[in-house]
Amino acid sequence: MAKRAVGVCLKPDDPLAAEVLRSLAEGLADARIEVRCDAAAARALGLAAQTPRELAASADLLVVLGGDGTLLGVAREIGDAQVPILGVNLGTRGFLAEIAPAEQLDAVERALRGAMPIENRARLEATVERGGAEIARFIALNEIVVGSAASRLLDLETSADGQPVTTYRADGLIVATPTGSTAYSLSAAGPILLPAVAAFVLNPICPHTLSQRPLVLPDSMRIEIRPLSHDGGAVRLTVDGQAGQALAEGDRVIVRRSPHPLRLVVASDHDRFEILRTKLGWGAE
């Protein structure tokens, strides 16, 4: 039997994450499971480093030690790779990174045996076109945002499958996946979608017209956004709150469902409504 390998991605400059990593590495060594590291994990363990994309191509499982932000970054950096990702929660929310540090070794061993549930989470693919040429391409797990860098009103001409939706006059526009419906879109009064729902949320940020409300669209649709004017402020495409591209008037942002979902390992006792009650404080006085 070929030796199993686990790629580990670590939240940088976090002493707690490094301590949890060392505990995991010792357990994996005892189980004769090879550990491969990204740059931050390699510094903590004194091993050679690989990029997340390289780890995704060579490991049987990726383990992300950090919070949801760390996992979002890894999900973007691995591109189209279909390696399962298991998140160990060292953050505050844990919508994506569900596994507690005390459960990490057992969860990793079970995931390698195929005994942990895996959810296919829809991702977004966004391209930016200028003058008919593609100048940038991104992949997102949570959301794509076309917004004002200076909180100025934007005019954003928006269509779905070539049919005009409206021209939003707002501080920006969010296109969110079901996974991202509990992130920025939720803060902008958007609806919560369960991960299995085949839909996206189109959600204006502080719209000038109160009748422009969040819109739920089938995720088979191709969404196009064109900034027409921006009252003198800079316009930017932001991906999962972490990466992005400056936009010029007349650029086209084309958003569609990626054909490559993220394969997310979830807890065996996974209860979506219990997670929402706990993380969002539903019912708390």
- Of 13, 30, 38, 68, catalytic: 68
Task: Write the DSSP string, the chain.
Answer: -PPPEEEEEE-TT-HHHHHHHHHHHHHHHHTT-EEEE-HHHHHHHT--B--HHHHHHH-SEEEEEE-HHHHHHHHHHTTT----EEEEE-SS--SS--B-GGGHHHHHHHHHTT-S-EEEE--EEEEEEETTEEEEEEEESSEEEEEETTS--EEEEEEETTEEEEEEEESEEEEE-TGGGGTHHHHTTPPP--TT--EEEEEEES-SSTT---EEEETTSPEEEEEEE-TT--EEEEETTTEEEEE-TT-EEEEEE-SS-EEEE--TT--HHHHHHHHHTTT--
What is 124-257's CATH topology?
Answer: Tumour Suppressor Smad4 (2.60.200)
Domain boundaries, the chain: 5-121+261-280, 124-257
CATH architecture of 5-121+261-280: 3-Layer(aba) Sandwich (3.40)
- Tell me the pLDDT of the chain (285 aa) as tens digits: 466 999 999 999 888 889 999 999 999 999 999 999 999 999 999 999 999 999 999 999 999 999 899 999 999 999 899 999 999 988 766 678 888 899 999 999 999 999 999 999 999 999 999 999 999 999 999 999 999 877 788 999 999 999 999 999 999 999 999 999 999 999 999 999 999 999 999 999 999 988 899 999 999 999 999 998 655 568 999 999 999 999 988 899 999 999 999 999 998 776 778 778 877 888 766
Please confirm, yes or no, whether 60 is among the known catalytic residues. no
